[in-house]
């Protein structure tokens, strides 16, 4: 038996999605500000709902991702030093 272990580090980048949602939200506010006759109010409300839903989905996914526990990192480092020191 070996004590080999794999460590997988994932750093998802949501900035593209967040920028797209922000741009769409800005466009929506611009349209609402001038109340253009091209877009009925119920459609604008639906677009706003969809944008909020997208933001909620991104935030929910971000919450599902594992977070680095600082205590665990310190304990892991101490454990590695002790392993090296005692050559086990």
Cα distance between residue 53 and residue 88, in whole Å: 52
Please determine, for residue 48, whether its predicted confidence score (pLDDT) is greater than 70.
yes
Q: For 56-84, how does the pLDDT look when each residue is reduced to its tens digit (9 = 90+)?
A: 988 888 888 776 666 666 667 777 777 77
Cα distance between residue 6 and residue 46, in whole Å: 45
What is the percent of the chain with per-residue pLDDT over 90, rounded to a whole number? 3
Q: For 17-44, how does the pLDDT look when each residue is reduced to its tens digit (9 = 90+)?
A: 888 888 988 888 887 777 666 667 788 8
The pLDDT of 8-22, averaged and rounded, is 82
Q: Where are the domains of the chain?
A: 15-86
Please determine, for residue 54, whether its predicted confidence score (pLDDT) is greater than 80.
yes
Rounded to 5°, angle at Cα 34 from 45 and 23: 60
């Amino acid at each position: 038996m070996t004590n080999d272990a794999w460590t997988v580090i994932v750093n998802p980048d949501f900035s593209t999605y967040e920028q797209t949602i922000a741009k769409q939200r800005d466009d929506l506010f611009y349209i609402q500000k001038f109340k253009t006759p091209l877009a009925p109010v119920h459609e604008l409300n639906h677009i706003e709902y969809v944008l909020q839903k997208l933001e909620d989905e991104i935030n929910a996914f971000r919450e599902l991702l594992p977070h680095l526990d600082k205590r665990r990192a310190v304990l892991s480092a101490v454990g590695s030093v002790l392993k090296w020191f005692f050559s086990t």
